[in-house]
Amino acid sequence: MPPNPALLATAIDGLPLARTGKVRDVYEAGPEHLLIVATDRISAFDYVLGSGIPDKGRILTELSAFWFELLRDVVPHHVVSLDPADFPAAARAQSDLLRGRSMLVRRTTPVPIECVARGYLAGSGLKEYRHDGHVCGIPLPAGLKEADRLPAPIFTPATKAESGHDDNISEERAAAIVGAATAAHLREVTLALYARAAAHAERRGIILADTKFEFGWTGTPGASEVILIDEALTPDSSRFWPADAWAPGGPQPSFDKQFVRDYLEGIHWNKQPPVPSLPDDVVARTREKYLDAYRRLTGREL
């Protein structure tokens, strides 16, 4: 499939912009709804890069929609519609631009912790384990190697950072932030979501090493239903590895943006402005990795 031009910015006349994230632009869509538009921006080392990845926003949106539907019996989600015909009139005027990369969603009050499930030892979990044999206060067996499968998946929450990296915290700290009952419920739901998604991915030849979820309260924080919000199980929020290439003991081939990080490390960028752009071959190969993950996980073409 030939790529479309990368979409790096949006503007919808008549809809107030609520916030702009590294990838998504979020618009006010009335008292009960928001409109989330996934651009083709890509970030690395906490900066949005100068190049976009064509169709990335469509891949993220369609893949999230696939998972929301597959997992809806585990926990309800915030998606109302992906059809521009259901969007506010101001947005319908840009249906061609928004189709496939936008979601009309229910407003919630976001739960102020990230909910991370880990089934394999990688990333910040690996760094913690190498330091003291624990991840978020959870002791793990001695002698584990990078990319080893854990004895059982673990719940490792993190605080949400406005900028920079999120900070891993213990479940006890999470309970102090959101309440013991909410923290226990989030742990149960996060691990159930991970188990279901990891089993599906495994059947498709993919290892789901870890992933993060975000949840929101539908009413009074701490005293109302918690639903799944934001995105779900995309290469931006998950670590996907090809199962047939899994070899514990070092970094794994992946379907996420690790390829971009490796390129930036290779050019010795100091991770400070000015932010570099990516060469065409890195853009093309990154796009293909995202597309490959989408095809394998959904069994569909974009």
Whether the upstream peptide bond of residue 276 has omega within 30° of 0, thus cis, is no
Residue owning tokens 């585990």: 74
Beta bridge partners of 238: 211
Residue 25, domain member (yes or no): yes
Report d(CA 181, CA 297) in Å as an integer. 33
- Judge if 198 and 142 occupy the same domain: yes
pLDDT of residue 297: 97
Q: How many CB atoms lie within 10 A of CB 93?
A: 15
Query: Which residue type sits at 137?
Result: G
Mean pLDDT taken over the chain: 95
CATH code: domain of residue 123: 3.30.470.20
- Judge if 59 and 168 occupy the same domain: no
- Judge if 79 and 134 occupy the same domain: no
- Judge if 46 and 136 occupy the same domain: no
Q: Which tokens go with 105?
A: 């969603």
Residue 4, domain member (yes or no): yes
Cβ–Cβ < 8 Å for 6, 50: no
Cα dihedral sign, 115-177-187-140: positive
Report d(CA 302, CA 300) in Å as an integer. 6
Q: How many CB atoms lie within 10 A of CB 92?
A: 14
pLDDT of residue 2: 61
Residue 18, domain member (yes or no): yes
* Domain count for the chain: 2
Report d(CA 168, CA 180) in Å as an integer. 18
Residue owning tokens 């229910």: 106
- Judge if 28 and 142 occupy the same domain: no
Which domain covers residue 3, as residue numbers?
1-107
Report d(CA 212, CA 232) in Å as an integer. 8
Measured N-to-C along each axis, helices 180-203 and 171-178 cross at an angle, to the nearest 10 degrees, of 120
pLDDT of residue 163: 57
- Judge if 147 and 136 occupy the same domain: yes
Q: Which tokens go with 291?
A: 């597309």
Residue 238, domain member (yes or no): yes
What predicted TM-score, i.e. pTM, was given to this entire model?
0.94
- Judge if 52 and 89 occupy the same domain: yes
Identify the segments of the chain with pLDDT beneath 50.
none
pLDDT of residue 22: 93
pLDDT of residue 1: 56
pLDDT of residue 131: 95
From 107, 135, 154, the end of a domain falls on: 107
